[in-house]
A and B are shown apart, each in its own frame.
Chain A
Amino acid sequence: MARITAGVGSSHVPLLGVAVDQGKTQDAYFAPIFGGYEWTRRWEAEQKPDVILLVYNDHASAFDANIIPTFAIGTGERFKPADEGWGPRPVPDVIGHPDLAWHIAQSLILDDFDMTIINEMDVDHGLTVPLSMMFGTPAQWPARVIPLAINVVTYPVPSGNRCWLLGEAIGRAVASFPEDLNVQIWGTGGMSHQLQGSRAGLINAEWDNRFMDSLIGDSDAVRRIPHIEYLRETGSEGIEMVMWLIMRGALGARTRLLHRHYHVPCSNTAIGHLVLQPD
């Protein structure tokens, strides 16, 4: 049977992709950020996951203002890096896992989650930057990837509780897939950042760290944080952290911490990174 063996949380700042693509990861500005991922790169090389369920948000790349899916799953064979205005990132195509993706899509719909199914789409920095952080610069990504794109841009975005429940349903769907697969789920985005207006540059390290604390162990208080708290405390784009709750929900009642990293700043953003195991 397929099983979810671990969860990873990570910011997905586009500047990190630039640093990787231009060979700047050891520069003074970037070294403290990438240093916090070294443990994870070694661990991933040992773990050799077959499939990553990668929860991210599209930043006006695959989806324009016309169609706004709240929860979308990529069922295609492969996904190309998006051209976000400066040309596509020079990273490998992302290879999907259509069998597992369709199994999850069907299971979720029967479990009351009305998924949008995407056969063809390009994937932007939200998806490819975490792959670079966890896997470095291989010729091919070492795992299949199923993109799970969440609307965290146009309000109302899904509630934290709904995200947690989706994660639980994903866990059930994976557990009923007959093939023996080592599956990880990654929740990406955040942490505190605001990319607009006179409050731009807001960072709240205390809140971010409390949020990370609350994903470890058996508490589920974090699912009840309302949108307005993310907005007030972590900036207008800090709301991306609801995507970490999909990862957390999929790990079951209790988690164990394997690795943790936090750094300010990267561009406009606080970098957070967690590796968790179901416990």
Chain B
Amino acid sequence: MSDPADIHAYLAELEDIPGTRVYTATRARQGYHLNQFAMSLMKPENRAAWKADEASYLDHWAMSTEQKQAVLARDYNRLLDLGGNIYFLAKVFSTDGLSFLQAVSTMSGMSVEDYQAMMNAGGRSPVGLRSIREPR
């Protein structure tokens, strides 16, 4: 059936996809406070406090210095590396007034216009992007 018998093999495979950080337990642990910070922006009063002074708002959260710097820089790829999850980080870019397409395009290294044009032309092909070990 679809269930992997070996958790180690299962988790190793999840790391074999180019340009992709699968949100595993390791990342969920590393990013816990970062993601909880992002979650807090669902409340209007918290969004107001965040917009008034981002750095001091972050001081209330048990996040690493690297995580705080990456949030202030809106470096979403770095935030993914540091345990952030896109659905939590969405609260940050939504508070900034960005759409999913605008925010996601910043991670792809493309301009918003080029990214949008790629999507309108059918999106990014999986060819060559399925595996790090075996490009196919």
Contacts and interface: CB of A to CB of B under 8 A. Distances in A.
A233 B101 CA distance: 20
B67 interface: no
B2 A227 contact: yes
A200 B124 contact: yes
Contacts of A226: 2, 4
B105 to A, nearest CB: 7
Given A160-B2, A200-B107, A268-B100, A153 B123 contact: no
Contact of B99 (A15, A192, A199, A200): A15
A229 B50 CA distance: 40
Contacts of A66: 36
Contacts of A14: 100
Interface stretch (A1-9, A81-89, A105-113): A81-89
A65 B36 contact: yes
A201 interface: yes
A225 B3 CA distance: 9
Size bracket of the B interface: 35 or more
Given A83-B42, A270-B123, A232 B130 contact: yes
Interface in B93-131: 94-95, 97, 99-101, 104-105, 107-109, 115, 118-120, 122-126, 129-131
A223 B23 CA distance: 22
B123 A202 contact: yes
A60 B25 contact: no
Interface string A146-186: 00000001111001111000000000000000000000000
Given A84-B90, A153-B23, A197 B2 contact: no
Contacts of A154: 23-25, 28, 85
Interface of A: 14-15, 59-61, 64-66, 82-87, 153-156, 159-162, 192, 194-205, 207, 223-228, 231-237, 264-265, 267-268, 270
16 contacts: A14-B100, A15-B100, A64-B39, A85-B91, A86-B94, A153-B85, A154-B23, A161-B3, A195-B100, A196-B80, A204-B125, A227-B2, A231-B14, A231-B17, A267-B100, A268-B100
